[in-house]
Amino acid sequence: MDYRERLIVKPGSHVKLADIDPGFHGVHESHEKALPELDATLAEITSLQELLYAEKKHALLIVLQGIDAAGKDGVCWHVIRAMNPQGTSVTGFKQPTAQERAHDFLWRVHKHVPGLGQVGIFNRSHYEDVLVVRVHDLAPRHVWEKRYETINDFEKQLTESGVTILKFFLYISKEEQLKRFKRRLDDPARHWKISESDYSERELWNDYTKAYEAMLERCSTKHAPWYVLPSNHKWFRNLAASHIILETLKKMNLKAPPPTVNIDEIREKYHKAASEKGA
Ligand code: AMP
Ligand code: MG
């Protein structure tokens, strides 16, 4: 199945999350059944990321958004597992510090954008400035309203300098979120993950839904599309994310750079003599 085609938010289209099934799981019935495909996809990603790292002509930025417990951390784990750590970075965006608040909202973001040869993952992102900020009135409407356009311009500029942008919205149902919170409660090893705000934010589910829909509608562009990943099934979420990443890497037509030395000369100079000496 072409997950890109199926899950992309077509630029300019109207988005109603209620029409999307967060429990969608494609052709496989279970994690076990999907495993061979998952492993094969990750293996291909590994080879292509190595080329991206070597070639240094492209960068890949993966933006993750989603409500608490949607699986942003899980996707980071999953994707990074396939990659050479030297070529990757993960940046989590929390409440802005006083210094960050004293700058424009993109200031803290721009410096974490991956450079050529690198893959960067944003666990939350500049989109918080049209999500939590909008839902909690942390800035007046006329301020956050302008940000959709500012974000589109910013992302366009990044793509023009070699950064390919993939944006994944991890979509779970309200019931699934509660189940996940409950599992955290039942597992002492994960108690540290629980915060009061998880529950208070949950009360604002409908406001968040509206803010997500606006983000998806207004900021899914040709140069930086949004994908809605049905995420009730963690394995499907991971499979869909890796498929889209793999297809995107394939489209870059990555090639190992040519050697910087004369290979024959090197072989002649250092290996021939050595092999004659029996080394
Ligand atoms: P977590 O990702 O669970 O560690 O939580 C990070 C928290 O920081 C979330 O509640 C976000 O909504 C919040 N956050 C991230 N970016 C911003 C922002 N620009 N303004 C206000 N809150 C933010
Ligand atoms: Mg949290």
Q: Which residue has the tokens 């030297």?
A: 86
Q: Which residue has the tokens 């990943």?
A: 229
Residue 274 Cα to ligand 2 midpoint, Å, equals 59
| Segment among 116-125, 227-236, 254-263, 264-273 with least mean pLDDT | 264-273
Q: What ligand is nearest to the CA atom of residue 137? A: 1
CA-proximal residue: ligand 1, atom 22 (nearest) = 95
Tokens of 122: 């944003």
Could you read off the pLDDT of 48-71 as tens digits, one per residue?
Answer: 999 999 999 999 999 999 999 999
Mutate to test the pocket of ligand 1, among 123, 128, 190, 200 (most ligand atoms within 8 A of CB): 128
Residue 229: phi and psi, rounded to 5, are -100, 115
Q: Is the pLDDT of residue 1 over 90?
A: no
Could you read off the pLDDT of 62-107 as tens digits, one per residue?
Answer: 999 999 999 999 999 999 999 999 999 999 999 999 999 999 999 9
**Mean pLDDT, residues 33-48 taken together:** 97
**Mean pLDDT, residues 108-136 taken together:** 98
Q: Is 96 in the pocket of ligand 1 (CB under 6 A)?
A: yes
Amino acid type, 4: R
Mean of the per-residue pLDDT values of the chain:
96
CA-proximal residue: ligand 1, atom 7 (nearest) = 94
Rg for the chain, CA atoms, rounded: 21
DSSP characters over 69-101: TSSHHHHHHHHHTTS-GGGEEEEE--SPPHHHH
Q: Which residues contact 198 (CB under 8 A, 6 or more apart)?
A: 68, 69, 181
Domains of the chain from N-terminus onward? 3-276 (3.40.50.300)
DSSP characters over 212-235: HHHHHHHH--SSS-EEEEE-SSHH
Mutate to test the pocket of ligand 1, among 75, 124, 131, 138 (most ligand atoms within 8 A of CB): 124
Could you read off the pLDDT of 203-235 as tens digits, one per residue?
Answer: 999 999 999 999 999 999 999 999 999 999 999
Q: Is 107 in the pocket of ligand 1 (CB under 6 A)?
A: no
Q: Is 76 in the pocket of ligand 1 (CB under 6 A)?
A: no
**Mean pLDDT, residues 267-274 taken together:** 86
**Mean pLDDT, residues 105-125 taken together:** 98
Which runs of consecutive H residues, i.e. helices, occur in the chain? Answer: 3-7, 31-55, 72-80, 98-101, 107-110, 132-135, 141-160, 174-186, 196-202, 205-219, 234-251, 263-266, 273-276
**Mean pLDDT, residues 115-132 taken together:** 98
Q: How confident is the model at residue 278 (pLDDT cuts 50, 70, 90)?
A: low
Residue 226 Cα to ligand 1 midpoint, Å, equals 20
| pLDDT reported for residue 2 | 87
Q: Is the pLDDT of residue 275 over 90?
A: no
Q: Is 132 in the pocket of ligand 1 (CB under 6 A)?
A: yes
How many angstroms separate the first and last alpha carbons of the chain?
52
CA-proximal residue: ligand 1, atom 4 (nearest) = 94
CA-proximal residue: ligand 1, atom 1 (nearest) = 94
Q: Which helix (H) or strand (E) holds 106?
A: none
Q: Is 94 in the pocket of ligand 1 (CB under 6 A)?
A: yes
User: Which ligand 1 atom sits nearest the alpha carbon of residue 132?
Assistant: 12
Q: Is the pLDDT of residue 34 over 80?
A: yes
| pLDDT reported for residue 273 | 67
Q: How confident is the model at residue 279 (pLDDT cuts 50, 70, 90)?
A: low
